[in-house]
Amino acid sequence: MRLIFLGAPGSGKGTQAAILAKSQGIPQISTGDILRKAVKEGTELGQKAQEIMKRGDLVPDDIILELIRERLAETDCKSGYILDGFPRTLEQAKGLDRMLGDKGIQAAVLFEVQSATLVGRITSRRVCVDCGETYNLITDPPPPDGICLRCGGKVIHRQDDTEETVSNRLAVYEAKTAPLIEFYEKKNKLFRIDGEAPVEHVRDQLFTLMRRLGS
């Protein structure tokens, strides 16, 4: 099972990736996690990425692709994997195809959610400053005392989760993702899921799709 999960911030793709990864015994892979790990471990690529990020620049596609290559070579990926939010650009998608060759991606799953819903979800998000555990005032509120149930850290409303910032992020996402959607549609590998539904219903749609794909 080699999958890509596409979706705007707040679409729920990370939640669904975690559910499917656990049920199938395969890793959920995001470039953010890979970058943080490489920087923390001080690898050659991690050091290069850290220097670039310190300047406030985006990490180039070639470094991201090399990090992905290293991650997919690890033993836990032998039975498959879910790429959560990668690729982000058309060039990354083409690079991934070249990297995988005959063992290409089986499906790109797009979680579709209206912009108004996304803004509401993200502005309601609260995050633990210590462990990163995510809560939501609408669907999964944090404890009244603002203390994380997972680690005891402080739960906050991030500055980049304001309505104005979220709207800008969604505009950038739409501009970058539209070519990706067309790219996978032309390959007959794009599958759409209604992300507006409750988590359990989205999960059911996803598992139905996996059965169709023969997983």
- Catalytic residues, by residue number, are 13, 88, 125, 158, 169
Locate all alpha helices (DSSP H) within 73-187, ordered by sequence. 90-100, 115-123, 163-186
Nearest to 148 by CA among 162, 164, 166, 133: 133
In the sheet that 125-128 helps form, which strands lie side by side, from edge to edge?
A: 134-136, 125-128, 155-156
Please choose, from the candidates 149, 146, 69, 158, the residue with its C-alpha nearest in 3D space to the C-alpha of residue 122. 158
* Three-state secondary structure call for residue 11: coil
The C-alpha R_g of the chain, in whole angstroms, comes to: 17
Closest CA to 84 of 27, 17, 179: 17
Contact in structure between 180 and 87 (CB atoms under 8 Å): yes
Distance CA 210, CA 215 (A): 5
